[in-house]
A = this chain, B = another copy of it.
């Protein structure tokens, strides 16, 4: 390897930076406890401020997520440079139903998220964050042209 090698570096990301990164992506992974496992489902999403809005059908995933502690993970990782970032949101998931305030229902739908997977995904779910953490692996051993900005 390069004689001028720098080691890779792990940086913690602030909350603001985490949300800025979340806004750049459309697919994340929902973590819910169900069937004795911490299940992970890829899902597309949109942001309503700091709330993550998703669509899903009325199956196991929604039943397990509704009013439960869930997580939502988003990452962008470059296998070539072995660098990238990941953000993990911990929060409470809640299905938006007709019992909610009209204003909340409107805001949720205005996020514009549409289900990609075929089938019924009529239910709207909001993930209200309790905490957001993130980290970035800054590549070592690479010239400045492949600096941390390259994988945004």
Contacts and interface: CB of A to CB of B under 8 A. Distances in A.
Kindly report how many copies of this chain are found in the complex they form together.
Answer: 2
B38 A118 contact: no
Interface footprint category on A: 35 or more
Secondary structure at chain A's binding surface: helix, strand, loop or mixed? strand
Given A37-B31, A37-B71, A71-B40, A117 B137 contact: yes
A90 interface: yes
Interface string A4-40: 0001111000000000000000110101110011111
A42 interface: yes
Contacts of A79: 26-27
Contacts of A32: 38
A108 B33 CA distance: 29
17 contacts: A7-B118, A8-B117, A26-B79, A29-B40, A29-B73, A29-B75, A31-B31, A31-B39, A36-B69, A37-B69, A37-B90, A38-B69, A40-B40, A41-B86, A42-B75, A42-B86, A117-B137
